[in-house]
Amino acid sequence: MIIPVRCFTCGKVIGSLYEEFKRRTDVEGEDPGKVLDELGVNRYCCRRMIVSHVELIDEIMPFS
């Protein structure tokens, strides 16, 4: 699905951080923990929202 705009638990805005996190961890191969620290995601509730997110939009919307 699409990354939530806010954390479900605390309400912090995290939707804008996902693409930067994904780029730095997948393409550049950086450590996910360090990337989240540098992006300012310190609470474990926000960290789990980003780390546990699975992109399913391509499977749900097979038609362009």
Which amino acid makes up residue 64?
Answer: S
Global confidence as pTM:
0.79
Enter the DSSP assignment of 63. Answer: -
Q: How many residues does the chain have?
A: 64
Q: Hey, where are the domains in the chain?
A: 15-60
**From CA 20, how far away is CA 39, in angstroms rounded?**
9
Domain 15-60: CATH class, spelled out: mainly alpha
**For each of the chain's 64 residues, which pLDDT tens digit applies?**
678 899 999 999 999 999 999 999 999 999 999 999 999 999 999 999 999 888 877 777 777 6
